[in-house]
Every structure is written in C-alpha cells, then in structure tokens.
Amino acid sequence: MIWKRMNNAEAKKIVDDIEKISKDSFESLVSEWEAGKFSEKVDAGYRVIRDKIFDEYSNCKNKGGYEIDLRVGLALYELLLKDEYKLNPIDANDDDIWRYLSVRVFLDITYLREPSNDRFGVYFSHDRVYKHTKRIWIKQLWWWIHLGWQGDVESTYEVLKKYGSGRISQVLERAGKGYRVEVTRKLLKKMAERCPQSKVSQDDFRALMMLYYAKMFVVEPTLVDGGIDSFLDKILDEKLPRGNADGII
C-alpha cells in the first residue's frame, strides 16, 4: 500500500478548524461519531482499515481504557501485517503516515477514547492526535503491540494484559533513539510471567524500565554470558525476585 501522509501544519489546521465550532455543534458532531458516521468521510482506500478498527472499538468501548488500547492495538497490528498493507517498522516510524491515519481515518475514535483537551486544544488533545511524536494514540498502539508481539494475537494478549495504559508510555518514551525489539519482547513476557496473580504495578514498572534502559546504555545484551535471557533475568531478579508470594513487583 502507498501510505498517504500529512504534515504537522496540515493536521493542526484541520483540528483547529473543528475547534472553532461552538460547543453545541461539537457535541452534535460527537453524536455522529458515536453512530459511526465519520466513516462516510474516510478515503475509500482506507475504508477496510477504518471499519475493522471502528468495529473493534465498538465491541470493547465499555470494557475500560486499557482494554480498548489493547484490543484496538491488536486488531490494527494484525490487520496491517496482511500482504495488502505490510506496514513495516520504517514506515511505522514516519509520523506523517500516522498523522494522516489519526486525523483522516481515526480522529473520532481517538477523541472517543480520550475525550479531553490538552494545553493546546479546545476539544482535543493535540498531542494524542498529531503533535507529539511518541504520543499520537494510534501510532502508540501499533508500537506497543509490535514491541510486545509474541507471534500471534492470543499469545500477545496474554502477555500484554498484565500491563496498563501508563506502562505504554514508560516503554515508548524512554527508548531514546530506537527500540531493541527482540529484547523488549522478551522483557515484557518475562515480567508478565513473574506476576501471575496481578498486573504489573505502575510505580515499580517505571523503576524497572529505568534500570533496563540504564543497563542497555552500557551493556550489549547479546554479549552477556547466557545472552539476552541472562541479561534480562539479572535485571528482573534485582527488581522482581523469584518466588514473590504475591506475584507483585
């Protein structure tokens, strides 16, 4: 697929134009979005992607914030693996691709998932729609699933259900210049396995990720005696000792 792109200025103008309408008009617009009418404005080449993700959102919208993120992310990632799309990590690092998807294809879902403004917006969180490179919601979901991918949807869900929306930013926003995909996938799986009775807590997950990235700056995991598994086990043993009776960090 040849992906359409949208730069920051184009995205800002579209969002700003919507934010100029009255509160009553915007509420009427949101009612149309809730009924799925945004789909009528989506380019035909994106309609399959759009409809699949809106259906997934509709099925899980009452299950809570992170469940929406996880289910929508998995549906998006699985769909974009298909031959007709084949979104690769190089394209997935292009914010202009995600801005187009966010504004022209998923603007309604992004708003409905997080219906609050930020310091830039009247109605929208501009960071979540187009502005912040690592906080564009639909982009964030793809990368979270990519970094947690265990080979299929079911296995990935079983690992990532142990986390939460706050953990996504801890992984994506601390990575610096890039991600070590194989290492991150193993880390998320190992951490989930050590917390059989609960979700991984927010505060301790933050501390563990800080330690993980600090170690990654000075140690090459593949060169450690025992390889990546040994490297990760040592980090986890420091923050999440084996045999923790509660299964909680």
Burial track 70-97 (b if 16+ CB lie within 10 A, e otherwise): bbbbbbbbbbbeeeeeebeeeebeebbb
The residue from 88, 122, 153 where one domain ends is 153
pLDDT at 98: 98
- Integer Cα distance of 11 and 104 in angstroms: 9
Say whether both 120 and 167 belong to one domain: no
pLDDT at 169: 87
Say whether both 72 and 193 belong to one domain: no
For the record, the structure tokens of 27 come out as 């509420």
Residue-number span of the structural domain to which 110 is assigned: 1-153
Say whether both 172 and 125 belong to one domain: no
pLDDT at 249: 39
Per-residue pLDDT of the chain (249 residues), as tens digits, is 999 999 999 999 999 999 999 999 999 999 999 999 999 999 999 999 999 999 999 999 999 899 999 999 999 999 999 999 999 999 999 999 999 999 999 999 999 999 999 999 999 999 999 999 999 999 999 999 999 999 999 999 999 999 999 889 888 887 666 789 999 999 999 999 988 777 888 887 888 888 998 898 899 999 999 999 999 999 999 877 665 534 443
Query: How many distinct structural domains can be found in the chain?
Result: 2
Say whether both 53 and 105 belong to one domain: yes
pLDDT at 245: 39
The residue from 153, 172, 198 where one domain ends is 153
pLDDT at 206: 87
Tallying the residues shown for the chain, one arrives at 249
Say whether both 138 and 189 belong to one domain: no
pTM of the model: 0.93
The residue from 98, 128, 153 where one domain ends is 153
